[in-house]
Amino acid sequence: MIIETQQTPDANVINFFAPEPLIKSGNAEFADAKSLRKSPLAEHLFDLGGIASVFISGEMVSVTKEETAAWEMLKPQIMAEIMDYLATGEDVIIENRDTAPQDDVVGQIKGLLNARIRPAVKKDGGDIVYKDFRNGIVYVEMQGSCKGCPYAMVTLKEGVEKILKDYIPAIKEVRNIETPE
């Protein structure tokens, strides 16, 4: 079993691609003790130490390390944990009926923004920050060089909105909120 890796523009994030689907649909982000109960794989990864968050989608595990941790030590351990866990055949995500659907969608939105969208936006000197999710509409704030950029709305609608809608059917639209300086 081979786990492929991909560097991201954020030096603290590496994507690990599994040779088989990790979850059937959606995605999930794990960054605290409460959320870890929903994924034994995420729990194993956090047990390694030096992990700030874990984002799991159908095809990848995106790991954000703590600033002080070193990839030289973590990367082989993470790959081994993913391979070992996949060998068990157990579900990567444990469905929990008492979690509110709104909370699940917000977690998926934040996870996708952090793993897929923010690194691309940061390449252009900007950032995108999650603000709210109401009635199928995701509210974000474009920052840095993206704030006020004539192409920001194209990026928002043709990039961000398309990606979020593809992964999360509950999303109808993405809107930018501009905060006064």
pLDDT tens sequence across 34-84: 677 788 898 889 989 999 999 998 889 999 999 999 999 999 999 999 998
- Spell out the domain ranges in the chain: 4-88, 101-176
Superfamily name and number for 101-176: Fe-S cluster assembly (FSCA) (3.30.300.130)
CA-to-CA separations, 162 to 57, 96, 171, in angstroms, rounded: 16, 28, 10
Q: Which of 96, 2, 1, 119 is nearest to 40 (CA)?
A: 96
Query: In this structure, what is the dihedral angle of CA atoms 6, 149, 143, 16, given to the nearest 10 degrees?
Result: -10
pLDDT tens sequence across 75-95: 999 999 999 888 888 888 876
d(C-alpha 143, C-alpha 126), whole Å: 5
| pTM score | 0.56
* Side-chain half-sphere exposure of 75, counting CA atoms within 13 A: 15
Q: Which two tokens stand for residue 101?
A: 């659907």
The CATH number given to 4-88 is 3.30.1370.70
